[in-house]
Structure 1
Amino acid sequence: MELDKNVENLLEKYFEAATTVAEEETLRTYFAQESVATHLEQYRPMFSYFSKAKEEQYTKQVPLNTRRNFNYKWISVAAVAVLFLGIYFGPEKYQDYQDRKKAELAYQQTKEALNLLAVNFGKGTEKITYLKEFEATTSKIYNDN
């Protein structure tokens, strides 16, 4: 009975990851024997698996030379090709970019000018309504006489 209580305490420590190697070995030997308390029987497969897994070994040959032979000449050839393509197509792309910027600036300036023109036309139409009223009044005066 005291051994079962000791095993229960060791199990608590084991699940909290606070056991030493010697205490874990005590648990393995306890669960390897035939007489295990019935309430602790559920832990037996776990510890028997750990004992079997400890004996397993990897039998395949591990290759030691894992380094690839990489040809650095091709990297330098690719870098030179990219450099030449940049030199060849670079000025043309830059000029296209500059042309787009100029066109966008011209568009913005034209838009501002047309907005100012629209505002002034709005003011002019207000003055025309006053002029029409003045003309209607003067025509009444001259037609009445």
Structure 2
Amino acid sequence: MELNKIEMLLEKYFEGQTSIHEEKELQKYFSSADVAPHLDQYTPIFGYFSQAATLELKQETQVPTIVKGRKRTKVWLSIAASIVVMLGAGTYVYFDKEVVSQDLGTYDNPEVAMKETQKALAMLSSHVNVGIESVICLEQYEDSKKLIFKQ
């Protein structure tokens, strides 16, 4: 084979543009004894392919009996974990229930309903007044800031 042709095929090979036929030519060249000295570095690549093609794989599979026991153990552990989680959630729900014994705001007597409504509105008003006092302080701060910085 011509050395220039082999070098061109090597370039194509490393760019990923060779065909199967061209790769077989490279394998044939590098498996021969007359490889150019500057191309010796590529011999192991193509030599490996020729060796790998002759190898036969003998694969024996044995299923150990321990695996079956582990699988059963996994199943039982996952079942036990599920039961523990369900018991925990049930216990939480059972003991977390607060007994709602508050009056829901329904009154038969209109006068009592009026008094309770006024009481609730007074409480709401006092909380709103606290919030308004805070806003007034902020307005005073803004006014004094405007005086100082004269915006």
Q: Which ranges of structure 1 fall in alignment gaps of 5 or more residues?
A: 96-145
Structure 1 pair 48–85 and aligned structure 2 pair: CA distance change class (3 A): same
1:77: how far off?
A: 5.0
Q: Which amino acid in 1 is paired with 2:10?
A: L
Aligned residue for 1:60, secondary structure, equals coil
Structure 1 pair 40–94 and aligned structure 2 pair: CA distance change class (3 A): farther
Could you give the per-residue CA deviations for residues 38-80 of structure 1, whole angstroms, max 9, x where no partner exists? 2222212221122112222222313589x96557566455434
Superposition TM-score, scaled by structure 2 size: 0.49
Structure 1 pair 93–18 and aligned structure 2 pair: CA distance change class (3 A): farther
Q: Which amino acid in 1 is paired with 2:32?
A: Q
Counterpart CA distance in 1 for 2:35 and 2:20 is 21
Equivalent in the alignment of 2:28: 29
Could you give the per-residue CA deviations for residues 89-130 of structure 1, whole angstroms, max 9, x where no partner exists? 3344576xxxxxxxxxxxxxxxxxxxxxxxxxxxxxxxxxxx
Q: Which amino acid in 2 is paired with 1:30?
A: Y
Q: Which amino acid in 2 is paired with 1:84?
A: L
Counterpart CA distance in 2 for 1:14 and 1:64 is 43
Structure 1 pair 34–93 and aligned structure 2 pair: CA distance change class (3 A): same
Larger Rg: 1
Show structure 1 runs of 4+ deviating over 2 A. 62-65, 67-82, 89-95
Count, aligned residues: 109
Pick aligned residue for 2:91 from 80, 88, 91: 88
Aligned residue for 1:28, secondary structure, equals helix
Counterpart CA distance in 2 for 1:34 and 1:24 is 18
Counterpart CA distance in 2 for 1:44 and 1:15 is 14
Q: Which ranges of structure 2 fall in alignment gaps of 5 or more residues?
A: 99-151
- 1:1-145 to structure 2, matched below 5 A, reads 3-63=2-62, 70=72, 75-92=78-95
Superposition TM-score, scaled by structure 1 size: 0.51
1:23: how far off?
A: 0.8
Aligned residue for 1:48, secondary structure, equals helix
Alignment RMSD: 4.0
Counterpart CA distance in 2 for 1:77 and 1:37 is 70
Aligned-residue sequence identity (percent) comes to 30
